[in-house]
Amino acid sequence: MLRSMAVNLPAFQALVDAHWRDVARLAHALAGPVDGDDVAQQAWTQALAAYPSLRSATNLRSWLLTITHHCAMDTHRGRGRRAVPHDDPASLVLREPAGPAADAHLPDGPLWSAVDALPVRQREAVVLKYVADLDHPTIATALGCSPAMSRRLVSDALATLRKDLP
């Protein structure tokens, strides 16, 4: 039988004060400028709901960033299910199917176009590493893989970018 252990958690406001920029920066990097604020707010709401039952306070920043990553992925999944209004629905039949760049949320430019063209896991790993400035163990936690795999994802992405960019 498991007994609940008392964990010495800081006040939630202290957690917000210490990490709000990291959460906002990651939310905007993963979800884009349009949905970034909503993702950050959703992450804080979920963190607040889960905070009282937290069993360990060893790495709260990583915990928050993992929640933010999950919220951003939920937003991306939801984009495909949202109805998009159109003036002329018949014109949609003639269009090419939407590709990965159709919902591009990265800044313009050849580098960001190349990053957007990367496979999803590699793109997420690169954004977490170089935009959110996370270390590989934290990236691994956010992506649900090992630190060695997160290093491999970043390495493969950088090799592709070096090859594709002039």
Identify the CATH number of the domain in which residue 149 sits.
Answer: 1.10.10.10
Identify the CATH number of the domain in which residue 48 sits.
Answer: 1.10.1740.10
Using pLDDT thresholds of 50, 70 and 90, give the confidence band for residue 94: very low
Give me the pLDDT at residue 7, please. Answer: 60
Closest CA to 125 of 43, 29, 42: 29
Q: What integer is the mean pLDDT of 129-155?
A: 88
| Residue 105 to residues 2, 140, 163, 164, Cα–Cα distance (Å) | 45, 23, 23, 20
Q: Which of 61, 79, 97 is the last residue of a domain?
A: 79
Give me the pLDDT at residue 109, please. Answer: 75
Give me the pLDDT at residue 83, please. Answer: 64
- Asked if the model's pLDDT at residue 93 lies above 70, the reply is no
Helix (H, G, I), strand (E, B) or coil at 4: coil
Flag whether 95 is in a domain: no
Give me the pLDDT at residue 84, please. Answer: 65
Q: Same domain for 14 and 73?
A: yes
Q: What integer is the mean pLDDT of 116-138?
A: 86
Task: Name the residue range of residue 112's domain.
Answer: 106-166
How many distinct structural domains can be found in the chain? 2
DSSP assignment of 19-80 equals: HHHHHHHHHHHHHHHHHHHHHHHHHHHHHHHHGGG----S-HHHHHHHHHHHHHHHHHHHHT
- Asked if the model's pLDDT at residue 75 lies above 60, the reply is yes
Give me the pLDDT at residue 1, please. Answer: 40
